[in-house]
């Protein structure tokens, strides 16, 4: 080792340098680093023994040793980077060439259950001859309340738990303002036969109510429209949505924008009318609100209630989805949990 006849051997620290450069793995590099710079290394020993040298020599020797130490440390860092790059390259090459790994199967998504229900309802309405229309989710108080026969003093206005916005605006509490907009857009022409689906907003939050929910609304205005037309249409819709054996029944009720008004029940889809937990043993499920369009509403839409009449109905899309899929908590729809959504 101490052969001084070649230039390489004259370098006192060549062995340390070569061991670092020759390291082929992180473990080998760590061993070479310990050997070159560790507490037992020749370099550390040489530094420790500086004190034994005469002052002049000590200063020069110290400078050299410190430079060597910095150089060896830099070499270790450089080698570590090279080894890391080599490992990455090897891994990438292996990944590219390994034909035995099973392929990654793309997860095929599907429509959200509420969207599936929405499309099903839209399809039914289109086949019944309705035109699909939409309206703004930010409404004026006039469209959301006044035009629908709910003046400022009307108690039903309190029940709606409205989200109010600046400048007399609000988030619509139902899709019924679209009735007014559709009649205005028709400009007096007949018939008006529209369906509107969309989000509505109320300050509610419990297992059966959410601050944001989807409604579907139907409106027909023409000469001589009566309760028979309403009932026949709702019966057709119920059979399309809930199956060929679905029956409906109308119970007298009250809504400001219809007169007369009715709550509409459909045969329980779970027990077929025999009575079960879902329908509270009645065999019926309350799903719709409906009625003949109130004269004030027709007037607000630009029609003369002495000449024409109409019917309207509305229901919650999530509620229909809950009944179709047997879901008991409305909030599940909007938690975006893949384990829940993938079941539909």
Q: Which residues bind Zn ion (CB under 5 A)?
A: 268, 270-271, 276, 278-279
CB of 218 to Zn ion, least distance (A): 25
Whole-angstrom distance, CA of residue 267 vs CA of residue 244: 11
What is the greatest pairwise CA distance in the chain?
122
For Zn ion, the nearest residue by Cβ is 268
In angstroms, the CA 20 to CA 30 distance is 9
Question: Considering beta carbons, is residue 219 or 268 the nearer one to Zn ion?
Answer: 268
> Which of 320, 308, 178 is CA-nearest to residue 246?
320
Rg (CA), the chain: 40
Q: Name the β-bridge partners of 164.
A: 170
Q: At what angle do helices 317-325 and 113-127 cross, to 10 degrees?
A: 110
What six digits make up the tokens of 206? 């419990």
The CA–CA distances, whole Å, from 228 to 128, 176, 234, 329 equal 16, 22, 10, 35
CB of residue 119 to Zn ion, shortest distance in Å: 26
| Cβ proximity of 287 and 323 under 8 Å | yes
14 or 278: CB nearest Zn ion: 278
CB nearer Zn ion, residue 143 or residue 242: 242
Question: Nearer Cβ to Zn ion, position 225 or 320?
Answer: 320
Q: What are phi and psi of 156, to 5 degrees?
A: -60, -25
- In terms of CB distance, is 121 or 285 closer to Zn ion? 285
Q: CB nearer to Zn ion: give 128 or 324.
A: 324
Q: Which two tokens stand for residue 173?
A: 């509490």
Shortest distance, position 281 Cβ to Zn ion, whole Å: 8
User: d(Cα 84, Cα 24) in Å, to the nearest integer?
Assistant: 11
Rounded to a whole number of angstroms, the minimum distance from the CB of residue 280 to Zn ion is 8
- Least distance from Zn ion to the Cβ atom of residue 116, Å: 22
Distance of closest approach, residue 211 Cβ to Zn ion, in angstroms? 29
């Amino acid at each position: 080792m101490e052969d001084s006849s070649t230039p390489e051997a004259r370098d006192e620290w060549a062995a340390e340098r070569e061991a670092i450069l020759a390291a082929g793995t992180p473990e080998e590099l760590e061993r070479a680093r310990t050997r070159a710079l560790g507490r037992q290394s020749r370099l550390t020993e040489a530094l420790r023994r500086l004190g034994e040298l005469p002052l002049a020599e000590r200063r020069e020797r110290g400078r050299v040793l410190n430079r060597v130490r910095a150089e060896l440390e830099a070499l270790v860092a450089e080698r570590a980077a090279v080894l890391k790059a080599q490992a990455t390259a090897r891994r990438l090459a292996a990944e590219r060439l390994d034909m035995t790994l099973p392929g990654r199967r793309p997860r095929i998504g599907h429509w959200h259950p509420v969207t599936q229900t929405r499309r099903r309802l839209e399809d039914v309405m289109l086949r019944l001859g309705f035109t699909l229309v939409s309206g703004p989710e930010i409404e004026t108080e006039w469209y959301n309340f006044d035009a629908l026969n709910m003046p400022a003093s009307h108690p039903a206005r309190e029940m709606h738990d409205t989200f109010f916005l600046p400048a007399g605006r609000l988030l619509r509490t139902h899709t019924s303002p679209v009735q007014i907009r559709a009649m205005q857009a028709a400009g007096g022409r007949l018939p008006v036969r529209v369906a509107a689906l969309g989000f509505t907003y109320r300050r509610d939050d419990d297992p059966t109510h959410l601050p944001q929910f989807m409604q579907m609304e139907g409106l027909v205005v023409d000469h001589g429209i009566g309760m028979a037309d309403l009932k026949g249409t709702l019966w057709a819709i119920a059979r399309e949505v809930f199956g060929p054996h679905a029956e409906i029944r109308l119970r007298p009720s009250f809504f400001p924008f219809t007169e007369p008004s009715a709550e509409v029940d459909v045969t329980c889809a779970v027990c077929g009318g025999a009575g079960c937990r879902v329908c509270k043993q009645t065999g019926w499920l309350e799903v719709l609100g409906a009625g003949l369009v109130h004269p004030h509403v027709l007037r607000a839409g630009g029609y003369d209630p002495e000449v024409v009449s109409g019917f309207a109905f509305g229901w919650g899309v999530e509620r229909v989805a809950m009944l179709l899929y047997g879901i008991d908590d409305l909030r599940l729809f909007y938690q975006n949990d893949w384990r829940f959504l993938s079941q539909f």
